[in-house]
Structure 1
Amino acid sequence: MRIYQPTLLSFTTIVLLYASAAAPGGSRQLLYTRDDPITIPPYLIFENVRLERAYVALQAWKRTMISDPWNLTANWFGSRVCDYNGVVCSSALDDPLVKTVSGVDLNHGDIAGHLPEELGLLTDIALFHVNSNRFCGTLPVGFLQLSLLFELDLSNNRFAGKFPKVVIGLPKLKYLDLRYNEFEGELPESLFDKDLDALFLNSNRFVSKIPVNMGNSPVSVLVLASNRFEGCIPTSFGKMGKTLNEIILMDNGLQSCLPDDMGLLRNVTVLDISYNLLVGELPKSMGVMENLEVLNVERNMLSGVMPDELCSLEKLRDFRYGSNYFTGEPSTCRYLENYNYTMNCLKDMRDQRSTMECTAFLSKPVDCDSFKCNPVSSCFSPPPRQISPSGQPSLAPAPSPNPPPPARPCPPLYSPPPPPPQAQQPAAQLRN
């Protein structure tokens, strides 16, 4: 009898592979702690044990599919799993002489079903793409075994429930796309401490404040649009300046002023914060966002006069600021390739709000401090001058003769913006 026990220790299912004469026809069978196990016919011969495990995972998955209108999985039978539609094979990273399943791509298949725990047997996959299907449920705990997973695309399906914290435990994950599903609840702070390059969470049902440590994320693309986030744009926002290229926060319930340090986002090309409840003025520091190409602040409650330098940015071509309460704009805005200024409080401009509406709104001064968007929470416990470089919370020290005043705010986790430079630095090379 051959016993096989893969390292699926993070969930309770234990797999035993054995050859038994007691099984009908002497077939090999995978025994799970659930009913209806996958049976491997005795005539199937596999090139190696990894492909045998892949066969089990894919057969278990096919069994959960209740609709496959394009018959994408019609050839999912037999031991030649590398020939299955949507299955990618290559040499194993730890042994180039061993062929293994390195990816699954069933995009746009319109397949209905769910993801079984057995997919955790695909321990060598680097990409898992199933966008534009009808998969439901959530991400199985078995995915914790996918230690090489680099890209995970579950977009445009029917997944639901809380944010799948399984992804936090995937050490190699760089690309996470959960958009157009029905995930709900809060986002874990640990998500923004993860070394991701692209994060798409738009068009779900997340309801919470954006975690205050958002600025810790090294992503180049961040899309949180069309959820129900509320409250502040975190003050840690400016920390993302070295890596962030595109950020889209449109169509939420964000209600605060814009952080003063917006100008630290020197590499951002696309910034969309439209359809929120943001108030106050556009920070003057935005006039040094030298790589900005698209800026959309429509449908907020922003006011004041726009920074003179903003519409003079060399790369800015699309600026939409309609349906706010701006009272002044640089004349250079009118020479942009695309812009929208309507429904503001701009004098001598057509299609503006009525004088009565503007007066009623502008008569109430904006108090940005009232939103209490400062300080950043990660410095609560230790005294400000004793913050650990790792950012991990530490035990409170014994009382000292000169403790800091209780009302003293935590210092920001990033340096304040420098004074305006005498000469602009060369623009950083953008990544596609």
Structure 2
Amino acid sequence: MRGREEYVTKACMERQRLLSGGNARGTDRNHVKARWKESARGAAQRTVLGDKPNRNRTAAQYASAVLPSVRSISLETHSVLITDALTSSPSLLFLIPLRPHQGSIPLSLSPANKSAIKQRVGEFVVLAVVGVYAEAVLTVLDAAMREFAGTEDMIQNTMSSTMSIEILLPYFFILLSLFFSLPSPASPKSLLPLPPLIFADQRLAVVYPIIQKFKTIIASDPRNITKTWVGADVCKYRGFFCDHPPDNETAIALASVDFNGFQLIAPTLEGFLDSLPDIALFHANSNFFSGSISPKIANLPYLYELDISNNLFTGSFPDSILGMKTLSFLDIRYNLFSGSVPPQLFTDETLVALFLNNNNFMQRLPDDLGNNRLLYLTLANNKFFGPIPRSIAKSMSSLTEVLFLNNMLSGCLPYELGLLNKAVVLDAGNNRLTGEIPFSLGCLENVEVLNLAGNLFYGMVPEVVCELGNLANLSLSDNYFTHLGPICRSLIMKGVIDVGNNCIPNVPFQRPVAECAEFFAQPRYCPYSETYSYIPCLLPHSSFPPLVQPAPSPS
């Protein structure tokens, strides 16, 4: 894609060719600039203000004579804040007297960020700036071309001089085109229309107004991200990334949005996210987006990663996500969603990562929780209740991380948890689970983190669990365990196992005896406790051989 500077240079060359009646020579930027100035000076002698320009005319008089569709604002202060009148304006025209000036130049209006075209007419400089929006502070805009005397402070981005200026602002804007023209019936060649934005691909032209509209509703941008969202080169906007779409390898399309950590504030993503036709990845965690998710998101044919975590979204789970046939990664954690999650979500065979943690979901875990191909399942810090379903064993060939912590789960651990031989992290801490630990957990050969703390477990801690070769953290604190074998005890000194606040004799920091007695005075029952001694795998480093009793199949 041609850079913005190259485009402006070539546009100036074309204007020079038209004004001089011949072909522009060379590609040297200084040559083009010199020819452009020469032509502009010639235009100053034409009939816009008469054959002999009246150098005593003011900018307001010039405007009333030449540009009846604009009004004049005389600035004696250093700057003016452009308000709602410019919200939909794609460009501005400025007429500036040829005399010294003063004020500051906003960074967003520097040549690196704006397309500017300048010529002299009579005693005035005409500067057209493309891509100006309501948040811009406009000051000495002719200095943006870096042609006037003065000292520049790069930190403050200011330039000082001696006198004030007059700026002419258009009072009527339309979006029928992406450029602003200067009508001058008396001299059609003296003031030419600005060129339209030229996009590398029609697909980029489609998303350009969508991005610009979204920009107008952003209430806060502390990192000045949106200042880069200017011009036709959408692929260079910060947070936007382009690629060749699947349906056309020669086309260029907006493929990815990454707003992670930008801290943008906007009331909604509706009309933006759901309107990007070629989007494949949308990552926007750690912002302040709110509202709900549009049902139209289901119409995006390529979206396979959606991360809107750590925002302020509310309402129920966005059911429109269920209609997305390509989605493989869904992260909506750390929001304010509530209600229930559709059971169909847990049987979606395209999803490989599902992060629902830290919302306000409240429902029973679905019986077919394991009927999927998930690698990551995170339900932590919600209000899910009921037992962990035995169908979780159906995820044995894929599930790598499963987080149930900080919910309201109850019942006993199913034997089938031990079949998750791909699991690296298994966390069911801080629930209401009870019963003994199944020996089958000794088959979790890849597990590194096993957290069962903060529940109502009791009985002995199986030595086969403490023998797991990759185990780095086994948290069993705040339960009612009563027995700990020598292998498990050796892990206490290594800092691998935490068994504090249990009922284990001769181990420090345990519950009071009376508290333990009160707990065991209540009857305890697990419906499938007979399966707890089954070991469905070969344990090469254990004294416990695999038991041959047939294990019950998941229901």
Same fold (TM over 0.5): yes
Q: CA deviation at 1:424?
A: 6.1
Match of 1:281 in 2: 436
Match of 1:27 in 2: 176
Task: Tell me whether 1:137 sits opposite 2:291 in the alignment.
Answer: yes
CA distance in structure 1 between the partners assigned to 2:294 and 2:523 by the alignment: 50
Q: CA deviation at 1:168?
A: 1.6
Match of 1:347 in 2: 505
CA distance in structure 1 between the partners assigned to 2:437 and 2:534 by the alignment: 18
Is the alpha carbon distance of 1:121 and 1:417 closer, same or farther for their aligned partners in structure 2, counting shifts above 3 Å?
A: farther
CA displacement 1:253-303 (0-9 Å, x = unmatched): 111111121211111111111111111111121122111111111110111
Task: Tell me whether 1:163 sits opposite 2:317 in the alignment.
Answer: yes
Is the alpha carbon distance of 1:341 and 1:419 closer, same or farther for their aligned partners in structure 2, counting shifts above 3 Å?
A: closer
Q: Which stretch has the larger CA shift, 140-149 or 102-111?
A: 140-149
Which runs of structure 2 are paired with 1:8-27 in the superposition (5 Å)?
Answer: 27=176
- Contact 2:409-2:432 at 8 Å conserved across structures: yes
Q: CA deviation at 1:321?
A: 0.3
Aligned partner of residue 487 in structure 2, secondary structure: helix
Q: CA deviation at 1:317?
A: 2.0
Q: Which stretch has the larger CA shift, 245-254 or 164-173?
A: 164-173
Which runs of structure 2 are paired with 1:199-210 in the superposition (5 Å)?
Answer: 199-210=354-365
Structure 1 letter corresponding to 2:292:
T
Q: CA deviation at 1:171?
A: 1.5
CA distance in structure 2 between the partners assigned to 1:25 and 1:300 by the alignment: 65
CA distance in structure 2 between the partners assigned to 1:168 and 1:26 by the alignment: 37
Match of 2:484 in 1: 329
Q: CA deviation at 1:160?
A: 0.8
Is the alpha carbon distance of 1:348 and 1:95 closer, same or farther for their aligned partners in structure 2, counting shifts above 3 Å?
A: same
Aligned partner of residue 98 in structure 1, secondary structure: coil
Match of 1:98 in 2: 251
Looking at CA atoms only, which structure, 1 or 2, has the larger radius of gyration? 2
Match of 1:409 in 2: none
Match of 2:524 in 1: 366
Match of 1:271 in 2: 426
Aligned partner of residue 252 in structure 2, secondary structure: strand
Is the alpha carbon distance of 1:25 and 1:222 closer, same or farther for their aligned partners in structure 2, counting shifts above 3 Å?
A: closer
- Contact 1:130-1:155 at 8 Å conserved across structures: yes
Q: CA deviation at 1:238?
A: 1.4
Q: CA deviation at 1:366?
A: 1.8
TM-score for both structures, normalised by structure 1: 0.76
Q: CA deviation at 1:117?
A: 2.4
Task: Tell me whether 1:305 sits opposite 2:444 in the alignment.
Answer: no
Aligned partner of residue 275 in structure 1, secondary structure: coil
Q: CA deviation at 1:142?
A: 2.4
Q: CA deviation at 1:176?
A: 1.0
- Contact 1:126-1:148 at 8 Å conserved across structures: yes
Structure 1 letter corresponding to 2:294:
P
Match of 1:318 in 2: 473
Task: Tell me whether 1:82 sits opposite 2:235 in the alignment.
Answer: yes
- Contact 1:250-1:275 at 8 Å conserved across structures: yes
**The one of 209, 216, 239 aligned to 1:56:** 209
Is the alpha carbon distance of 1:423 and 1:321 closer, same or farther for their aligned partners in structure 2, counting shifts above 3 Å?
A: closer
Q: CA RMSD in A?
A: 2.4
Q: Which stretch has the larger CA shift, 232-241 or 179-188?
A: 232-241
Is the alpha carbon distance of 1:421 and 1:112 closer, same or farther for their aligned partners in structure 2, counting shifts above 3 Å?
A: closer
Is the alpha carbon distance of 1:160 and 1:73 closer, same or farther for their aligned partners in structure 2, counting shifts above 3 Å?
A: same
CA distance in structure 2 between the partners assigned to 1:91 and 1:254 by the alignment: 46
CA distance in structure 2 between the partners assigned to 1:353 and 1:54 by the alignment: 63
Q: Which stretch has the larger CA shift, 173-182 or 229-238?
A: 229-238
**The one of 135, 152, 163 aligned to 2:306:** 152
CA distance in structure 2 between the partners assigned to 1:170 and 1:187 by the alignment: 16
Q: CA deviation at 1:144?
A: 1.6
- Contact 2:443-2:537 at 8 Å conserved across structures: no
Unmatched tracts of structure 2, length 5 or more? 1-171, 179-193, 542-555
**The one of 182, 185, 198 aligned to 2:353:** 198
Structure 2 letter corresponding to 1:210:
L
CA distance in structure 2 between the partners assigned to 1:138 and 1:420 by the alignment: 46
- Contact 1:135-1:158 at 8 Å conserved across structures: yes
CA distance in structure 1 between the partners assigned to 2:346 and 2:175 by the alignment: 51
Match of 1:391 in 2: none
Task: Tell me whether 1:43 sits opposite 2:214 in the alignment.
Answer: no
Match of 2:342 in 1: 188
CA distance in structure 2 between the partners assigned to 1:417 and 1:103 by the alignment: 50
Match of 2:128 in 1: none
Match of 1:245 in 2: 400
Aligned partner of residue 251 in structure 2, secondary structure: strand
CA distance in structure 2 between the partners assigned to 1:262 and 1:26 by the alignment: 60
Aligned partner of residue 161 in structure 1, secondary structure: strand
Match of 1:4 in 2: none
CA displacement 1:112-136 (0-9 Å, x = unmatched): 1120224333121110011100000
Is the alpha carbon distance of 1:314 and 1:25 closer, same or farther for their aligned partners in structure 2, counting shifts above 3 Å?
A: closer
Task: Tell me whether 1:357 sits opposite 2:510 in the alignment.
Answer: no
Match of 1:430 in 2: none
Aligned partner of residue 368 in structure 1, secondary structure: coil
Aligned partner of residue 160 in structure 1, secondary structure: strand
CA distance in structure 2 between the partners assigned to 1:423 and 1:250 by the alignment: 28
Aligned partner of residue 412 in structure 2, secondary structure: coil
CA distance in structure 2 between the partners assigned to 1:325 and 1:342 by the alignment: 10
Aligned partner of residue 73 in structure 1, secondary structure: helix
Is the alpha carbon distance of 1:355 and 1:95 closer, same or farther for their aligned partners in structure 2, counting shifts above 3 Å?
A: same
Aligned partner of residue 418 in structure 2, secondary structure: helix
CA displacement 1:313-363 (0-9 Å, x = unmatched): 111121110110011122212333421111111112121111111111112
CA distance in structure 1 between the partners assigned to 2:282 and 2:537 by the alignment: 46
Match of 2:36 in 1: none
CA distance in structure 2 between the partners assigned to 1:93 and 1:417 by the alignment: 52
CA distance in structure 1 between the partners assigned to 2:352 and 2:535 by the alignment: 30
Percent of aligned positions that are identical: 38
CA distance in structure 2 between the partners assigned to 1:121 and 1:197 by the alignment: 25
Q: CA deviation at 1:74?
A: 1.2
Structure 2 letter corresponding to 1:139:
I
Q: CA deviation at 1:365?
A: 2.5
Match of 1:67 in 2: 220
Structure 1 letter corresponding to 2:498:
N
Q: CA deviation at 1:421?
A: 4.5
- Contact 1:197-1:218 at 8 Å conserved across structures: yes
- Contact 1:134-1:157 at 8 Å conserved across structures: yes
Structure 1 letter corresponding to 2:442:
G
Q: CA deviation at 1:419?
A: 6.5
Aligned partner of residue 156 in structure 1, secondary structure: coil
Q: Which stretch has the larger CA shift, 180-189 or 345-354?
A: 345-354
CA distance in structure 1 between the partners assigned to 2:297 and 2:421 by the alignment: 37
Is the alpha carbon distance of 1:178 and 1:119 closer, same or farther for their aligned partners in structure 2, counting shifts above 3 Å?
A: closer
Match of 1:175 in 2: 329
